[in-house]
Amino acid sequence: MLPPWRFLASRWPWAALMFALSSALIAVLLVALIVPTLLLLPLWGILLAAVDRRRLRLLGGQRVPSGHVQVPRAERRNWLNIRLTEPATWRETLSLLANLLLGAVSLTVLFFEGLFLALIIVALPLMASRGEIDINLFSDARVVLGPDDWWRPVLVGLAALPVAAYVNALLAALHGRCIRWLIAPRTAEIDERVAGLTRSRAAIVDAHEHERRRIERDLHDGVQQELVAIAARLGLLELELAGGDREASGAALAAAQTQTERALQALRETVRGIHPAVLSDRGLAAALEDLAGRSAMPLLIEDRGFPRLSPAAEAAAYFFVAEAVTNAAKHTAASRLEIVLGADERNATVVARDRGHGGVDLARGSGLRGLSERADALGGRLTVDSPAGGPTVLLLELPMQRAGADPRVAMTGEEHRAHSAR
Beta bridge partners of 385: 393
Average pLDDT over residues 266-295: 74
Question: Is 266 part of a structural domain of the chain?
Answer: yes
* Per-residue confidence (pLDDT) for residue 417, from 0 to 100: 38
Average pLDDT over residues 59-69: 81
Question: Is 49 part of a structural domain of the chain?
Answer: yes
* Per-residue confidence (pLDDT) for residue 325, from 0 to 100: 83
CATH of the domain at 378: 3.30.565.10
Task: Say whether pLDDT at 314 is over 80.
Answer: yes
Total of domains in the chain? 3
* Per-residue confidence (pLDDT) for residue 408, from 0 to 100: 37
Whether residues 86 and 10 share a domain: the answer is: yes
Question: Is 282 part of a structural domain of the chain?
Answer: yes
Whether residues 287 and 209 share a domain: the answer is: no
Q: Which of 35-49, 215-229, 243-257, 283-297 is predicted most confidently?
A: 35-49
Whether residues 282 and 212 share a domain: the answer is: no
Of 219, 249, 274, the residue at which a domain comes to its end is: 274
Convert the pLDDT of each residue in 88-97 to its tens digit. Answer: 889 999 999 9
Residues 6+ positions from 1 with CB-CB distance below 8 Å: none
Average pLDDT over residues 140-146: 73
* Per-residue confidence (pLDDT) for residue 197, from 0 to 100: 63
Whether residues 294 and 221 share a domain: the answer is: no
Of 137, 160, 185, the residue at which a domain comes to its end is: 185
Whether residues 334 and 379 share a domain: the answer is: yes
Describe the crossing of helices 311-331 and 366-377 by its angle, rounded to 10 degrees: 160
Report yes or no on whether pTM surpasses 0.75. no
The 3-class secondary structure across 309-370, one letter per residue, is ECHHHHHHHHHHHHHHHHHHHHHCCCCCEEEEEEECCCEEEEEEEECCCCCCCCCCCHHHHH
* Per-residue confidence (pLDDT) for residue 21, from 0 to 100: 93
Whether residues 158 and 247 share a domain: the answer is: no
Query: 386 or 241: whose pLDDT is higher?
Result: 386
Question: Is 128 part of a structural domain of the chain?
Answer: yes
Q: How far is CA 109 from the centre of its chain?
A: 40
The 10 Å Cβ neighbour count of residue 335 is 11
Residues 6+ positions from 266 with CB-CB distance below 8 Å: 222, 223, 226
- CB of 203 closer than 8 Å to CB of 130: no
Whether residues 306 and 263 share a domain: the answer is: no
Select from 342, 359, 360, 358 the least CA-distant residue to 350: 342
Question: Is 302 part of a structural domain of the chain?
Answer: yes
Question: Is 190 part of a structural domain of the chain?
Answer: no
In this structure, what are the phi and psi dihedrals at residue 245, rounded to the nearest 5 degrees? -85, 100
* pLDDT bracket for residue 103 (50, 70, 90): very high
Whether residues 338 and 397 share a domain: the answer is: yes
Question: Is 191 part of a structural domain of the chain?
Answer: no
Whether residues 300 and 376 share a domain: the answer is: yes
Mean pLDDT score across all residues of the chain: 78
Query: 194 or 160: whose pLDDT is higher?
Result: 160
Average pLDDT over residues 35-59: 88
How far apart CA 236 and CA 354 sit, in angstroms, is: 52
Whether residues 289 and 309 share a domain: the answer is: yes
* Per-residue confidence (pLDDT) for residue 84, from 0 to 100: 85
Task: Say whether pLDDT at 39 is over 90.
Answer: no
Of 274, 306, 333, the residue at which a domain comes to its end is: 274
Whether residues 144 and 172 share a domain: the answer is: yes
* Per-residue confidence (pLDDT) for residue 198, from 0 to 100: 63
Least confident residue range of 92-106, 169-183, 244-258? 244-258
SS3 392: strand
Query: 116 or 74: whose pLDDT is higher?
Result: 116
Convert the pLDDT of each residue in 190-224 to its tens digit. Answer: 666 666 666 666 666 666 666 666 666 666 655 66
Task: Say whether pLDDT at 46 is over 50.
Answer: yes
Domain containing 394 equals 278-417
Question: Is 422 part of a structural domain of the chain?
Answer: no
* Per-residue confidence (pLDDT) for residue 413, from 0 to 100: 38
Task: Say whether pLDDT at 398 is over 60.
Answer: yes
Long-range contacts of 60-67 (CB under 8 A, 24+ apart): 60/15, 61/180, 64/180, 64/183, 64/184, 65/184, 65/185, 66/185, 67/91, 67/183, 67/184, 67/185, 67/186, 67/189
* pLDDT bracket for residue 74 (50, 70, 90): low
* DSSP 8-state symbol, 69: P
Task: Say whether pLDDT at 422 is over 80.
Answer: no
Whether residues 213 and 95 share a domain: the answer is: no
* Per-residue confidence (pLDDT) for residue 72, from 0 to 100: 66
Residue 142 burial (10 A CB sphere; 0-12, 13-18, 19+) = exposed
